[in-house]
Amino acid sequence: MVFSDFTSRTVSLYDNWIKDADPRVEDWLLMSSPLPQTIILVLYVYFVTSLGPKLMENRKPFELKKVMITYNFFIVLFSVYIYYEFVMSGWGTGYSFRCDIVDYSWSPTALRMARTCWLYYISKFIELLDTIFFVLRKKNSQVTFLHVLHHTIMPCAWWFGVKFAAGGLGTFHAMLNTAVHVVMYSYYGLCALGPAFQKYLWWKKYLTSLQLVQFIIVIIHLGQFFFMEDCKYQFPVFLYIIMIYTCIFLLLFLHFWYCAYTKGQRLPKSAKNEICKYKDH
């Protein structure tokens, strides 16, 4: 009886809440309900934390060099395209970089922004392959709680973003993130090409710097909202979530920078491996 009452209240709450969803995205892949993505993410977590390592326990690591080269450079090209679409659908064609609200109209530009947000959301599922490749290559030390949490939270958060607020100032961090991913996955792609390309990877330290700069810029941009007297952004809760998430990762990356580049030479090998868990986020 108690469970039935709880279920009824939950369904009622969901029905009332979903009334404010954007009708334009209702029929898009994975957008009709949070259930399909929940199933995908549960299977992902189960595979990378339990099933995958067990299946690989008595097997040799897969040789995925060609697959990883293709994958990384595909992400680079996909990120370039998403970044271009963010620029052309608002950030380079009229947004003020201050109080930019969501345009829910059916205009070509508004629909283009909504579609770009959806593409960014879909990219988060493609990037789940990062962890799957770790498991298949038996790089289990890279499958950390932080890594899995990051790859699970992003699609969850962005389902709500696309469903309710596909546009406006809440998308700035996504545009910036795609630009960083162009650089980051270019680095990973060059790594995958093998030892002959190691001489071109001297800029790893600057990749971490770029990620830190990304977080700082996002915090500064979002921080404007909290000082605006009359910004009618429709779903400010998303801005709070983005700000909290960004601040957490800024602190984690600062910790990584300090350990890896300031005192890394004095750390034992085991400690170096531990702090390196942050590098793939």
Catalytic status, residue 151: no
Residue 209's Cβ-side half-sphere holds a number of Cα atoms within 13 Å equal to 5
AA letter at 197: F
C-alpha span between 48 and 148 (Å, rounded): 8
Instruction: List the structure tokens of 83.
Output: 């970044």
Residue 195's Cβ-side half-sphere holds a number of Cα atoms within 13 Å equal to 0
C-alpha span between 72 and 191 (Å, rounded): 10
Burial readout 147-180 (b: 16 or more C-beta within 10 A, e: otherwise)? bbebbbebbeebbbbbbbbbbbbbbbbbbbbbbb
Number of H helices, E strands in the chain: 11, 0
- The catalytic residue among 147, 150, 151, 221 is 150
Instruction: List the structure tokens of 44.
Output: 């992902």
Instruction: List the structure tokens of 208.
Output: 């971490």
- The rounded Cα 271 to chain-centroid distance in angstroms is 26
Residues 120 and 110 sit within 8 Å (Cβ to Cβ): no
For the purposes of burial, counting CB atoms within 10 Å of the CB of 245, is it exposed (0-12), middle (13-18) or buried (19 or more)?
middle
C-alpha span between 82 and 158 (Å, rounded): 15
Q: Angle CA(42)–CA(62)–CA(119) in degrees, nearest 5?
A: 45
DSSP conformation class of 91: I
Instruction: List the structure tokens of 256.
Output: 């990584």
- Nearest residue to 45 via CA among 156, 122, 120, 185: 156
- Residues serving a catalytic function are 150
